[in-house]
Structure 1
Amino acid sequence: MARYSHGTFSGPFVYDKRFAEQYTSRPEQKQAIAAWMKADHSKLVPPTTPTSEESEKIASIMNDVNTYYDEMVNKFIMGVEPLDRFDDFVAAVRRMGIDEAVRLKQAAFDRFVRR
C-alpha cells in the first residue's frame, strides 16, 4: 500500500485517522489497533547517538548480521533449514560480532542516560 499512498507510515505530513479507517474494515483489524494503543511503551529505547567510530563499527557488523538473519529466518520459516540448527545460527551471528554491536549500542545508551 505504501507504494501508492503516503499515509501508511510515519512522515512529515498531516495524518487523518479516517485514512486508516479505510483500510481497517475488518473487526479483527480494529481490535488489533485497539490492543496496540494500550501497549506499554515504557521500555522503548530513546534516540541515542553513537560516536562516528561506533557508527561505522555497528554498521559494518549489522550489515552482515542483517543479511544473514534475513536469509536464515526465511529458511527456518519455510522449513528449508531445520530448527535444530538454530543454535548454529546464533553462534554464527555471534562470530559476526553481534555482541560487539550490542556493547557499542549500550555505550551510546549509557551516554544518553548520563545527560
Structure 2
Amino acid sequence: MTNLNPLVIAEIGKMANELIVTYGKYKETKEIEQTERIRIRATLLALTKKIEAETQTFQLFLEKRFEERHRLYDMAEDLMKHGMKEKDPDLINSAITLIKFTYCEDPLKGNSLLKITDTY
C-alpha cells in the first residue's frame, strides 16, 4: 500500500462525511415530499368527492324546482282555459298573475350551494 498524503486522507474523510450528511438530508427531503404528495392527493380526492356530492344535490334541486315550476305553469294554463271557457276575467287575470309570478321568481332562489365560500 502506498503512503497517502495526510491532507488527502483528511480531505477524503471530509468528503465522506459530507456525502453521508447530504445523503441523510436527501432521504429526509424525499420522505417529506412523499408525505406532502400523499396529503395533496388526499385533499384533491376529498374535494372531488365533495364536488360530486354537491353536483348531485344541485341536480336534484334543479329537477324538483323545475318540476314545481312546470306544475305551476300547467295550473295557470288550466286556470286560463277555465276562465276563457267561463268568460271570467278574474280567473284569467289570476292565471296571468300566476304566470308572471312564476316567471319572475328566480328558480335558483333558496339553494345553499350557490352561496360560494372558500372553506380551505
Same structural fold, with TM-score higher than 0.5 when normalized by the shorter chain: no
Choose 1 or 2 for highest CA Rg.
2
Higher relative contact order (CA 8 A, sep 6+): 1
Q: Give the TM-score normalised by structure 2.
A: 0.31
Q: Which has the higher helix share?
A: 2
